[in-house]
Amino acid sequence: MDRRRFIMTTAAAALLIGCAETGWAVAPPKAPFRSSRKDAVKISEERWKEALDPLSFYVLRQGGTERAFTSPLNRNKADGVYLCAGCGLPLFDSRAKFDSGTGWPSFFQPIAKNRVLDRPDDSMGMRRTENVCARCGGHLGHVFNDGPRPTGLRYCMNGAALAFLERRRVSELGDPPKVFLGARLPSSKAEPRTPGARP
């Protein structure tokens, strides 16, 4: 029994060392998000858990990824804007949305570059560019260089990180846009919702 345990322990150690040398080890934690915006959202993780449904919390606050082809926003063709499901900041216009065939809502550009920030992401054994909300730091998805014209970019977003608002209601957000935790607009009867959101 001791010999078997020794062999298993040695094999596991060799595998871990090999993974670390090839870059397949778990990436170190990222530096905490710090927004320089005046309207930055700085609340506790406990408050985020109260404001978000479990899937949106997993994606936005823990950097998770929803399963492909599960978000209703992937198929949404309505005219409007896509908000951060965490704080309600308008991020993408429906006019920049396209069907990438990947199973996640995809856009060729954000509404404004200062609304979606890029961060290096070396997790999962590859180098990617993560996108986060500039106001609350919520994980949105990743950007790739295989999109359509005019930018050639594909912002591949998690539907659980977004909420949709019809264009006729955009004025409800205010200018600059107000903070709406969980993308819930207090003045509206039909609130923008994310997949799996609590009623």
Q: Please tell me the number of Cα atoms within 13 Å of 190 on its side-chain side.
A: 5
The catalytic position among 84, 87, 136, 156 is: 156
70: which 2 tokens? 């599960």
87 included as an active-site residue:
no
Which phi and psi (to 5°) does residue 28 adopt? -65, 155
Collapsing DSSP states into helix, strand and coil, what is residue 104?
A: coil
Cα separation, 42 vs 32, whole angstroms: 11
DSSP-assigned letter for residue 181: G
Q: Identify whether the C-beta of residue 56 lies closer than 8 Å to the C-beta of residue 133.
A: no
- One-letter amino acid at 82 equals Y
Q: Which two tokens stand for residue 196?
A: 């799996």
Q: What ranges in 34-168 are assigned the alpha helix state H?
A: 45-51, 54-62
By the 10 Å C-beta count (0-12 exposed, 13-18 middle, 19+ buried), 28 is classed as exposed
Q: What are the phi and psi torsion angles at 133 (to 5°)? A: -65, 130
- Which residues are marked as active site? 156
